[in-house]
Amino acid sequence: MTTTLRPRHRIARAFLAGIALAVLGACSTTVVREPTASSTTRKASQAKPGATVRVQRGDTLYGIAFRNGIDVNDLARWNNLAAPYTIYPGQSLKLFPGTGGSRPATTTTTAARPATGTTTRPAPPPAPATRPAPAPASSGFSWRWPAEGHLIGRYVAGDATKQGVDIAGSSGQAVRAAADGVVVYSGAGLVGYGELIIVKHSEAWLSAYGHNRKRLVNEGQSVKAGQQIAEMGSSGASREMLHFEIRHNGKPVDPLQYLPPR
C-alpha cells in the first residue's frame, strides 16, 4: 500500500535540522512535503562525505535528518527530492552533496636529512592558541521551559547520548511547546526517543520532546508557546522524564543557553 501525506497547509509538527515528512506504520511508501524557502541566511549542514542511509519502513525525511544531525532542507537538496518528495523503504539517501564524498587533499612533506655526524633535536610544538567559546546563535525569539521538574541530565557537546537536557517529573505531567511552531514529527520511529514530538519554529530552529506517555498533537498542527503537546512518560527511558533538545540547522545546541533561568 502507498501512503501520501496530506498537503503542507494541514501539516504541523513539533535537538536538532524544513523538510517533508510522513509516518508509515505498515506502508511501503513515505511522502514528504517540500521545504519552504527562508528569508534569513541559513548555514548549510555539515555533510558526511561518502555516508548514506537506507530508508526503513516508517521513516520520514524529517526523522532521518534529525537522527543524523542534518538540516532537512539540505538532505532534500542533496538527494534531488522533487515534489511530492516521496521516499521509499530500501531507498538509499546521501548524507552529502554531489555524486561522491570529497576528501581534502593530503600533502606529504619530506624533511631534509641532517648531515652525517650531526645531532638534531625536534623543535618544541607551538603552544596551542586559546580561543574563547563561540557565542550561541540567536534564534530571534523567546524560549519557555517545556516542563516543570528537576534537571537530571545536561547537554554535553560531542556526546551523542547527551544532546539535550532531561527533566524529571511524574507520569502524565504536562509537556508544553517551548515556542510557537508547527509539528513536523509525531511518532515513535526514532530509536532512543520513545514517543517523540518535533516542532519546527523557523527554517533553522527545531525543538524535540522525547519519552512521552502520550502525544497530543499531530503532524501539521500549529502550536503556541506554552501549549500542552504531550503527557510526560517513560517510553524509551528508565523513568518518567522529558528529554528536550533544541537544534539549529539540524545540529543540537545547549538548551540551557536559550531557556530562561529558573
Q: How far apart are CA 157 and CA 198, in angstroms?
A: 21
Any domain includes 156: yes
- Which residues, other chains included, contact 175 with Cβ-Cβ below 8 Å and sequence gap of 6+? 146, 147, 197, 209, 212, 228, 229, 230, 231, 232, 242
**146 within some domain:** no
The total of other beta-carbon atoms located within 10 Å of residue 88's CB is 14
Beta-bridged to residue 243, according to DSSP, are 166, 210
C-alpha 250/C-alpha 62 separation (Å) is 10
Looking at residue 4, its pLDDT comes to 44
H helix runs in the chain, sequence order: 61-67, 72-78
Domain contains 193: yes
For β-strands 241-248 and 165-168, DSSP reports them as antiparallel
Residue 211 domain flag: yes
Within a domain: residue 241? Answer: yes
Nearest Cα to 211, choosing from 190, 183, 180, 184? 190
Task: Provide the pLDDT for residue 58.
Answer: 80
Per-block mean pLDDT, blocks of 10 residues, the chain (262 long): 42 36 35 39 75 89 88 89 78 84 35 43 54 73 97 94 96 98 94 96 96 97 98 96 96 96 90
Partners of residue 171 on adjacent β-strands: none
Q: CA 215, CA 84: separation in Å to the nearest integer?
A: 27
pTM of the model as a whole? 0.67
Instruction: Count how many domains the chain has.
Output: 1
* DSSP characters over 45-77: P---TT-EEEPPTT--HHHHHHHTT--HHHHHH
Q: What is the DSSP letter of 233?
A: B
Provide the domain limits for residue 213: 151-257
- Dmax (CA) for the chain in angstroms is 81
Domain contains 172: yes
- Note the pLDDT of residue 48: 87
Residue 108 domain flag: no
What pLDDT is attached to residue 85? 66
Mapping DSSP to helix (H, G, I), strand (E, B) and coil, where does residue 2 land?
A: coil
Q: Domain holding 199: CATH number? A: 2.70.70.10
Q: Is there a cis peptide before residue 255, judged by omega within 30 degrees of 0?
A: no
Bridge partner list, 230: 175, 215
Beta-bridge mates of residue 231: 174, 214
pLDDT for position 118: 44
174 part of a folded domain: yes
Unique residue bearing C-alpha cell 593530503: 106
